[in-house]
Amino acid sequence: MPIDSPNRYPVSGAGLGLRRSMMGERISADSVDFLEVAPENWIGVGGRLGCWLREHTERFPFVIHGLSLSIGSPAPLDLELVKSVKAFIREHGIRCYSEHLSYCSDHGHLYDLLPIPFTEEAVRHVAARVRQVQDLLEQRIALENVSYYAAPGCEMRELDFLSAVLEEADCDLLLDVNNIYVNSINHGYDAHEFLCGLPSQRIRYAHVAGHFDEAEDLKVDTHGAPVIDPVWSLLEQAYRVHGPLPTLLERDFNIPPLPELLTEVARIRSIQAEVGEVQYAGR
């Protein structure tokens, strides 16, 4: 199947992360193609909020991006969480479930996404846990390349570690473009080379977001600011390498009025269209 075939993606176009602060706003299908939520924030939620979510899952294609699976943790997997996610997927017709390639627990929640050591042992550990989750869910999951600020016990490059986990677990990739940019600055590698090394056939959709400039050589992934021009350029490069992937705008803090967010969603659509036209003309 061609890497830009729409049949390999769970959704299409440009999406937006749905946040409770948007309640009362009217999101139009003319401006957003799909939506995403964190399942932990919505599992078991009823009443007015539950009805609001249901209204959107009936109107839009949905994906979910988990926060607390802690796939790299040494502690046992939270299988009750996985079962709850499975029920949520079925209840709302979710198209894709993704999680962070990191960990956030060790017999207790650590409330942060911590880096997994880039080692062969960690590859085997994570891959086994991913296969366990996929068996329970009866479907594949996607892992997101994460931002990190230290690399303890590193024996492999980030790209090699990520690729090895995806291959051994036989799972998919949620490509976070901003995280590549942030990591390339913080750890001194070539972002375009990283992009080119990713397995196109495993990418299901992409994230793009803003970050905080702590220093010239230290970027912090916050999802609390507009997307900057170098990240937009990297997103365009990602499309040229892997095809115009479905892409979602994340904004978790300092959330502006909806029209400002939709301006960024429209920019995603514009870049997708430009790259798609170029690739089509070149055939």
Residue 274 lies in a domain: yes
Could you tell me if 59 and 29 are in contact, meaning their C-beta atoms sit under 8 angstroms apart? Answer: yes
Q: CA–CA separation, 91 vs 246, rounded Å?
A: 23
Residue 4 lies in a domain: no
**CATH number of the domain that residue 129 is part of:** 3.20.20.150
Q: Residue 62 is part of which domain span?
A: 9-19+31-281
Check residue 108 and give its pLDDT.
Answer: 54
Residue 113 lies in a domain: yes
Per the structure, the count of domains in the chain is 1
Q: Which of 87, 84, 47, 89 is nearest to 64 (CA)?
A: 89
Residue 83 lies in a domain: yes
Check residue 107 and give its pLDDT.
Answer: 58
Three-state SS at 103:
strand
Rg of the chain (C-alpha set): 18
Residue 24 lies in a domain: no
Residue 25 lies in a domain: no
Query: For the chain, first and last CA: distance in Å?
Result: 16
Structure tokens at 60: 């839009």
Q: CA–CA separation, 143 vs 170, rounded Å?
A: 11
Residue 26 lies in a domain: no
Residue 120 lies in a domain: yes
Check residue 11 and give its pLDDT.
Answer: 98
Check residue 115 and give its pLDDT.
Answer: 80
pLDDT, mean over the chain: 91
Check residue 229 and give its pLDDT.
Answer: 97
Check residue 283 and give its pLDDT.
Answer: 52
pLDDT < 70 stretches in the chain: 1-7, 105-112, 278-283
